[in-house]
Structure 1
């Protein structure tokens, strides 16, 4: 797997298969035991998962809840806010957001009586710039969903600046950290967003179904989630049908019986990131991305990501010429044990800790060969 460039899709780390197998095997042993300790074990592991996320975000205790996906996280927050929050106002999002969030908002905002404003990149630009977002952001924007690092260009927004502007406009600000968390440092106390959503699947090397919501204290007090259940309470074993009460912390974002298995399956990846250190992983990645970027800028490929490292996440996206079919390029690379993907003509390359410098050289040589062959034809 030294030729793995897919961290924007699924993160990898040394001995991932063995460590996840060990974690799931321990769960199976507990869950299959003929005793009454199963839930104590499972919920204890979920608590470890939440603590790892809390530490990565530098968040206060009790401010993070597990959800199935970033889409579900956004739904929980928006449908938990008072109905007057969105009605008659705007919800703002960039066109290069994770598409699933836009799919949700396209219907949900209309049902809530608001208008969805989708900000497109400026002509000739590959991503929605911070300036472009501010240009469309007035006092009618009630909620804004910000993407820290995009999956299409690896553009990194100055989310602290955008959140500060949003608060001046009276906007509730949320940040999707999925494509940056684990490879870049992030501090919710510095960014100041009202809520943060993210997945464990990418640079955190986890599994699907292990997303989170982080909420500020102020937003926590305003949210009464529509989707609720016995695990939304301080005491899940309160079964008095007339005495339901939300937990005072992030547990209120829970609902029915929690899905603990994804949290347990993600713990090895989270542990690896914390043990190795985000700073060390970031340095390793930055050197590899710089090596790729240097070659791309001297090639016939167009760099889609920013040439400036401080404006990029952990990936590098390039545009293939029309003479090369994207899917065919991916298959050619795969035959050489080089793993990347495409979105249309955009080749996405995200090297991580298991990606070697030698494999980067092999990748660039392979791409140069493809470009040369097409040029000769």
Structure 2
């Protein structure tokens, strides 16, 4: 076994930051174009920057099959959810329940906990079963009653890679009459996703992970059926169809998704992520998924050989692109991650949950070395 893996071949952090060959060159080229435009002593800056931002939005629309005028940018999934929750009329929230799973992204739970008393809803969190690492769809459905005004579905969990059955859950939610939202962050760009199949009311994501983008480049989709009912608390000149309508008593929300904009758009994250989305748009997406599944199968067999407890579904159709294992208490997660890093292998942990996600730069040799190194660390 080599002492260390070659750069990138044992990169297993696609659940955090996605990489691809040539990313640095693409990113520099994109940012150089931004710098050249923004620093030019002319009047072309906003035309360039807002055009790049719109290209970013349009590429995202293609990824999730969203109609025109239904997607815009947001800093992250938390700010996106805050914008949508704050825009909904009282009939969906006041005196109602908002339903989430215990294995949702914690930041969203923190937000909802704070919003509940102000907006008059009760936050109901579907718990993990004893000893489980993900919330079962059956338990979520059992908790989903007509009292639920809004349900937030985590498509793929960041702590187990469990993939919920969206079709089944959304069908139940329609029967309950709830607003249905999805957080697709952990699988967007790896697994196919369509806002119409099944039809949801809103979707949140970042561009960081399988999309290989940058921080701050989040997106929100809102169904054209729901947009007219939404009146965001956070609004500004860009919330209007005509941002240059500056009559102080003449504010009027845009008819489409623009009503979820507010002040001057923070466009740099979208501009910085655009090269990665352009790269992704040129790829064979089925091949990317196949590569992930092939390397994941090798990891899974290796985890079994090492007697490590799997914290993800064994069936690939029930998980995203990551595999998690629960480390024994005698092996602190941070120490295991540090030992892997010393060998040129990049993974991470959440407490005793070791997380690994092979992507396009990861190789079979890198995965095999990961397992050999992990065997030496675990003894």
TM > 0.5: yes
What corresponds to 1:60 in structure 2? 67
What is the CA–CA distance in structure 2 between the aligned matches of 1:114 and 1:76, rounded to whole Å? 16
What is the CA–CA distance in structure 1 between the aligned matches of 2:371 and 2:208, rounded to whole Å? 27
- Is contact 1:65-1:250 (8 Å) kept? yes
Q: CA deviation at 1:86?
A: 0.8
1:123 aligns with 2:130: yes
What corresponds to 1:167 in structure 2? 174
What corresponds to 1:209 in structure 2? 216
Aligned structure 1 segments of 4 or more residues deviating by more than 6 angstroms: none
Aligned-pair Cα RMSD in Å: 0.9
Q: CA deviation at 1:323?
A: 1.8
* Aligned length in residues: 372
1:195 aligns with 2:202: yes
1:260 aligns with 2:260: no
What is the CA–CA distance in structure 1 between the aligned matches of 2:279 and 2:295, rounded to whole Å? 20
Aligned partner (choices 335, 349, 355) of residue 328 of structure 1: 335
- Residue deviations 1:156-178, cap 9 Å, x none? 01112211111100100000000
Aligned partner (choices 71, 76, 90) of residue 69 of structure 1: 76
Q: CA deviation at 1:280?
A: 1.9
1:362 aligns with 2:369: yes
- Residue deviations 1:191-216, cap 9 Å, x none? 21100011001110101111111011
Aligned partner (choices 314, 334, 339) of residue 346 of structure 2: 339
1:371 aligns with 2:378: yes
1:12 aligns with 2:19: yes
Name the SS for the 1:263 alignment partner: helix
Change (3 A) 1:319 1:213: same
- Residue deviations 1:248-300, cap 9 Å, x none? 11111000000110001111111122211322211111111111111112222
What is the CA–CA distance in structure 1 between the aligned matches of 2:85 and 2:208, rounded to whole Å? 23
1:314 aligns with 2:318: no
1:241 aligns with 2:265: no
User: What TM-score do the two structures reach when normalised by structure 2?
Assistant: 0.97
What is the CA–CA distance in structure 2 between the aligned matches of 1:85 and 1:134, rounded to whole Å? 19
What corresponds to 1:136 in structure 2? 143
What is the CA–CA distance in structure 2 between the aligned matches of 1:162 and 1:270, rounded to whole Å? 30
What corresponds to 1:85 in structure 2? 92
What is the CA–CA distance in structure 1 between the aligned matches of 2:270 and 2:246, rounded to whole Å? 26
Name the SS for the 1:332 alignment partner: helix
Name the SS for the 1:122 alignment partner: coil
- Residue deviations 1:318-377, cap 9 Å, x none? 1111121111111111011100101111000001000111010000001111222xxxxx
Q: CA deviation at 1:115?
A: 0.5
What corresponds to 1:375 in structure 2? none
Name the SS for the 1:30 alignment partner: helix
What is the CA–CA distance in structure 1 between the aligned matches of 2:284 and 2:241, rounded to whole Å? 33
